[in-house]
Amino acid sequence: MIELTIVSEYANIFCVSASTSASKLLTEIRASSGLSQAELARRASMTRSVINAYERGSRQPSVEAMARLATAGGYQLSLSPRPAPKDPQRASRILEQVVGLAEMLPYKPADKVEAAPLPPVGSVGRAAR
Tell me the C-alpha distance between 69 and 75, whole Å: 8
d(CA 93, CA 48): 55
**Tell me: the pLDDT tens digits for 28-85?**
899 989 999 999 999 999 999 999 999 998 998 888 899 999 999 998 887 777 677 6
CATH number at residue 52: 1.10.260.40
Predicted confidence band at 19 (pLDDT cuts at 50, 70, 90)? Answer: low
15 touches 7 (CB < 8 A): yes
Sign of the C-alpha dihedral, residues 82, 88, 91, 93? negative
Kind and range of the H or E element at 77? none
Q: Is residue 84 part of a domain?
A: no
Domain with 34, as residue range(s), is 4-72
Does residue 80 lie within any of the structural domains? no
In a domain, residue 32? The reply is yes
Measured N-to-C along each axis, helices 48-56 and 63-72 cross at an angle, to the nearest 10 degrees, of 110
Which pLDDT belongs to residue 103?
Answer: 87
